[in-house]
Amino acid sequence: MDLQTIWFILVTVLFTGFFFLEGFDFGVGILHPFMSRDDRERRTVINTIGPFWDGNEVWLITAGGAMFAAFPEWYATLFSGFYIALLLMLVALILRGVAFEFRSKHDNPAWRAFWDWSIFTGSAIPALLWGVAFANFIRGVPIDQSMNYAGGFFNLLNPYALVCGLASLSIFTLHGAVFLTLKTTGSLQERAMSLAKKVWAPATLLSLAFMIYTFIETDLYQRLGVNPGIIPVFSVLALLSVIVLLQKNASGWAFAMTGISIAFSTVTIFMGLFPRVLVSSLDPDWSLTIYNSSSSDYTLGIMTIVAAVFVPVVLVYQGWSYWVFRQRVSTDSELEY
């Protein structure tokens, strides 16, 4: 296995971890205004992700850093072509982070309402745009022979990408609802369970629509082959099992299944891309691959040593933080946000 493949796998792992962890963060933020009946309940909902949300975003920063260092041409083409979409996503994430910190700084109801809806907006926009971005990765965007993006912003908002965006938005919302059933108590837990059951149907239908549309619109499944094609089937089966598990109040298993569905969907996309990282809709030969967009072997070798040392440390630390804050949060708990 060459260094380019190793770093492609690492980027895949980083994005998979990001979507699994930040996915329920986005879902909680999206449901936040609809879950709560008063300010104390809203603070309780936010506190379910309070110790985790900023740590979860580190996965995105690390994935972006890995792309920049290992595949600079991919990074350059992506950020120039997707500039407006990524800027919009960044502004949303900043607004969301500021809202978490600012909403409790003043007791004025209008002040808190503004930041509550900022949390919703800052969660919903990235949840939608990540789906749009990855759909364009596999469908293809106009990239010329010089690896430059030759389209505009509205090229990215094609019907296929929007279906994928709605699918990612809905499945992250479901992931967040199931997470809330694990982290809340009493009436909040009952409402979270009810919302999870309601969100499951549109999330499942949109995910199936995206899979069918992918088969029609792209070469993803043809490139996967027979045996790797089992992975997207497992993703669908995991999602279908969620409603059964929710009916049996097996929230832990339901959360595991939404996480598996997200993880397998992400892995499917990267496997279908390999060895490409960004498909050219103008000419398949102009697509960016892990070879024509990578850094030198020397750079990749140094980075591999650094990653081998520090990635396990980060994983252990984040696992420890989840263990420390594993208890449920109730309206009687000491609240921060």
- Shortest CA distance to 46 belongs to which of 93, 111, 108, 116? 116
pTM of the model: 0.93
pLDDT at 133: 93
126 touches 163 (CB < 8 A): no
Amino acid at 241: S
For residue 334, the model assigns a pLDDT of 64
DSSP letter assigned to residue 28: H
- Give 41's contacts (C-beta < 8 A, 6+ positions apart): 35, 188, 331
Residue 231's pLDDT is 74
In this structure, the number of other CB atoms found within 10 A of the CB of residue 45 comes to 29
**What is the model's pLDDT at position 335?**
64
pLDDT number for residue 152: 83
3-state class of 121 per DSSP?
A: helix
Residue 294 is predicted with a pLDDT of 94
* Radius of gyration of the chain, Cα coordinates, nearest whole angstrom: 20
Structure tokens at 188: 């909040």
Measured distance CA(209)–CA(205) in Å, rounded: 6
DSSP 30-82: HHHHHH-SSHHHHHHHHHHHTTTHHHHHHHHHHHHHHHHHH-HHHHHHHHHHT
Q: How far apart are CA 43 and CA 61, in angstroms?
A: 27
Q: What would the pLDDT profile of 82-105 be if each residue is shown by its tens digit? A: 999 999 999 999 999 999 989 888
- In this predicted structure, what is the pLDDT of residue 50? 86
Q: Is the dihedral of CA 21, 22, 27, 31 positive or negative?
A: positive
What DSSP character marks residue 337?
Answer: -
Least Cα distance to 273 among 78, 127, 21, 26 occurs for: 78
Residues in the chain predicted with pLDDT less than 50, given as ranges, are 226
End-to-end CA distance of the chain: 47
The pLDDT value given to residue 174: 97
- Residues 335 and 259: their CA atoms lie apart, in Å, by 27
Q: How much is the pLDDT for 252?
A: 93
pLDDT of residue 292: 93
Q: For residue 173, give the amino acid letter.
A: T
